[in-house]
Amino acid sequence: MIVAKNNQGDFDSVQAAIDSIPSSNTTWCTIYIKNGIYKEKIHITSPYIRLIGESADKTIITYDDYAYKLFPTGESYGTFNSYTMFVGTSDFHAENLCIENSSGIGDKVGQAIAAYVDGDRVCFKNCRFIGYQDTLFTGPLPPKPIVPGSFRGPRENAPLINGRQYYENCYIQGDIDFIFGSATAFFYSCTIFSNDIGKKVNGYITAPSTPEGQAYGYVFEDCKITSHCPKHTVYLGRPWRHFAKSVFINCDLGAHIIPAGWHNWDKPDSEKVNFFGEYNNKGPGYTPTERVNWSHLLSDIEAKHYSRQNVLNSSDNWTPWS
């Protein structure tokens, strides 16, 4: 199937092409998307769908919902209704797309998700995720909200799974907790860009909520961690929930990274159960002797446990990079 503007394809909208695939689908269906700006709120629940854009710079799916926006009932959207693209299925693949939430800075609009991804064996290659606060949510949700009702959205009462997600050669831009959630997610050769929002602390790259007992949370390998932010104004991460896990391996860290590296989100009791680590990083933001004493510098042997194969294979031998 081909999606293109001005009746140049099988469908004019991405959602119309997706809706043509039944929820009982058992074979891979590929939707090719021509360059253009598609202002759509995308909802995907059928498995075995591939979205292939013409180019990551010019095939743009964008929307502008946000947490402070109100439904006609007067109720706010909240974080998890603010997405531009929702992927609520396993076995999904996307390439050469830009997924954007264009609503703006979090101080004005609150959280605004570009991609809400909640499934197993989900792969994005050469994609761009653009936003401010909470750009990329790697579901599932934690078991329960701290504030009752704050999980309103498409997966509020869904069963929680240990979904595996893979991001290769992607560009992810945001500021406050802009990669967050409970998935096992591997980021390989990606560029992670922090927005300058003019504050003493311009943000936190990761906010994992890794469930207790889950072997892996976030792993970043061979990634470029960059920004136009002033020096020492961005943390590598903080724990959205206890048992959070985030590891950076062979990454190039810009000078915007705060020497301490990690923040406990005012949860000192979480320091004993979180796992925030690094191995063989480089760049001006890599200051291992100044990191908080509850973070980890991995040994050579420990680092081998964080290969793509170990993190993602499982019993089904899923190898999305091949």
Integer-rounded Cα Rg, in Å, for the chain is 19
Mention every residue, 6+ apart, whose C-beta is less than 8 A from residue 130. 98, 99, 100, 101, 102, 114, 173
Distance of alpha carbon 196 from alpha carbon 132, whole angstroms: 10
Active-site position among 118, 120, 175, 177: 177
Active-site position among 91, 118, 120, 134: 134
CB 269 within 8 A of CB 290: no
Beta bridge mates, 93:
50, 123
User: Does the active-site annotation cover 222?
Assistant: no
CB 133 within 8 A of CB 104: no
CB 86 within 8 A of CB 44: yes
CB 278 within 8 A of CB 247: yes
Distance of alpha carbon 277 from alpha carbon 120, whole angstroms: 24
Could you say which DSSP state residue 294 is in? T
User: Does the active-site annotation cover 65?
Assistant: no
CB 206 within 8 A of CB 246: yes
Residues marked as catalytic:
134, 177
